[in-house]
Amino acid sequence: MGQVTVIGSYVVDLMSRTPHLPVPGETVLGGPFQMGPGGKGGNQATAAARSGSDVTFVTKIGLDVFGEEAMRHFEREGFNVQFIKRSETDATGTALIAVDDRGENNIVIAPGACGTMKRLDVIEAETAIKKADILLIQLEISLEAIKAAIEQASIHRVPVLLNPAPYLPFPSDWLQHVTYATPNETEARGLTGVDVVDESSAQKAANFLHEKGVRVVIITLGEKGVYVSDGTSRGKFIEGFSVKAVDTTGAGDAFNGGFAHAVSSGMPVEEAVQFGQAVAALSVTKIGTAASMPSIEEIKAFLKS
């Protein structure tokens, strides 16, 4: 069992189905409505825990109804909640999500309390970082908090898995402390300036990140698969699994949480990638984000079949 520490966002997902995604100024009748736990940090922590890892989650939520539901979710999933902060002034974050009949989505995030995380919030969780087999971070909290997390992981020689989503510019010297980077095509372009459209361009983007210090680059390409490069030889394209998608909202988070579990548990990178792809594939067959993350029993059965 891997020890995974996740530092990141938690928001409540407020999701409705809709025949098609509205264009500006359009009102669309939708339904049904569903509320559930979300945020990239929360989703990835859930995916890792359900995959079998011992998960510590570091985030910030409000002293409100959504915050109470968040704590119940954390406890149900078996998270170590020692480093969950409760804000007396900021509400728990929310995400407004519309999902159309093809499973495509658009999302508006109001970060709330998790958007106020500071360096001190991370420093206070140093023991959780120190004991981790891997530190999983995203870009949905403040850069101040992310920088502190990377610094703490570097001090304690803990591998860092950076999911650079949603992409926003950050100091490139942070990448020298990143063990695994998992951008999608859009995030890879933001990080490197390279449009990833095929294996050649994927390798070009990966080489750029290797030069900045990233040891393993994993470019996720949706249903097409994943491009993996460790910088020692030409990278490899690994095809994804074919499933009928009903909601793609949490697929990237499912992959990252599953991969974090697998690689921290000792799986070789390519095998860990395939494990993460299985978690992602299963997640898109269900509605929701954290709620759609599969159990280890489901994952094993899927991989076996």
Nearest Cα to Cα of residue 183 among 173, 194, 87:
194
How far, in Å, CA of 57 to CA of 62, rounded? Answer: 15
Q: Which residues are annotated as a binding site for ATP?
A: 184, 220-225, 252-253
Sheet holding 216-220, edge to edge: 84-87, 54-62, 3-7, 134-137, 160-162, 180-181, 216-220, 225-229, 236-239
Residue 253 appears among annotated catalytic residues: yes
Given 54, 121, 133, 253, which residue is catalytic?
253
How far, in Å, CA of 170 to CA of 152, rounded? Answer: 17
Task: Please name the residues in contact with 254: beta carbons below 8 A apart, sequence gap of 6 or more.
Answer: 43, 47, 276, 279, 280, 282, 283, 284, 292, 293, 294
Helices 199-212/185-192 angle, 10° precision: 50
What are the catalytic residues? 253
